[in-house]
Amino acid sequence: MPPSPHLPSSSTTNGTNIPQGLTHTAVTPLDLVKCRRQVDPKLYRSNIQAWRTISSAEGIRGIFTGWSPTFFGYCVQGGLKYGGYEFFKKFYSDLAGPEKAARYKTAIYLAGSASAEFIADIALCPLESVKVRMQTTIPPEFKGTTDGLKSVVAKEGFGGLYKGLYPLWGRQIPCKYSYPGQ
């Protein structure tokens, strides 16, 4: 059976999800310190001092607090974002027709990009919520991703995982427009 003309190729989706997860996981130590300093500006004098303090108290594992929800969240988000972009770009071009698609290519591509990001962030938000809670509580509130998801749902209901969705959209969707070629 030939591939659907509207669905992104598996290489687009699979080729972006793992690198997206790995890239965000690699900067987890920076994100950890950023989140903690935002919550309590007096907690650390500098990023270096923060990493030293965390490392001496919790070891290298402490510096990577939140790596698991970060990795899994951005793997899913990356696949949906880039695969979804290819889908929506084609879908909106087909809706517009060849002549209008060519004339309004930039607008169609931006709409495709925003649509993909919109959906990808819905998948990312629960994991981002767990990550932020792990990073901003000392010691971390949860033992891991699954524990965090279960705990939030038990205490706050499913909606507790989506409290940060609107700010996430406010950060991510405009940022998507700055990517070259989109």
Question: What CATH number does residue 58 fall under?
Answer: 1.50.40.10
pLDDT band at 182 (very low <50, low <70, confident <90, very high): very low
Range of the domain at 51: 10-176
Whether 65 contacts 135, CB under 8 Å: yes
pLDDT band at 19 (very low <50, low <70, confident <90, very high): confident
| HSE of 136, CA atoms in CB hemisphere, 13 A | 13
pLDDT band at 18 (very low <50, low <70, confident <90, very high): confident
Would 182 be classed as within a structural domain? no
Per the model's pLDDT, the better-predicted residue between 2 and 100 turns out to be: 100
Would 3 be classed as within a structural domain? no
Would 1 be classed as within a structural domain? no
**Which residue, chain included where needed, has tokens 């809706």?**
95
Per the model's pLDDT, the better-predicted residue between 14 and 39 turns out to be: 39
Reported as a single tens digit per residue, the pLDDT across 117-136 is 999 999 999 999 999 999 99
Reported as a single tens digit per residue, the pLDDT across 47-76 is 999 999 999 999 999 999 999 999 999 999
Best CA proximity match to 135, nearest among 177, 178, 73: 73
Would 31 be classed as within a structural domain? yes
User: Average of pLDDT values for 31-53?
Assistant: 96
Would 80 be classed as within a structural domain? yes
Would 82 be classed as within a structural domain? yes
Q: Looking at residue 20, what is its pLDDT? A: 86
pLDDT band at 178 (very low <50, low <70, confident <90, very high): low
Domain count along the chain:
1
Q: Provide the greatest CA pair distance for the chain.
A: 63
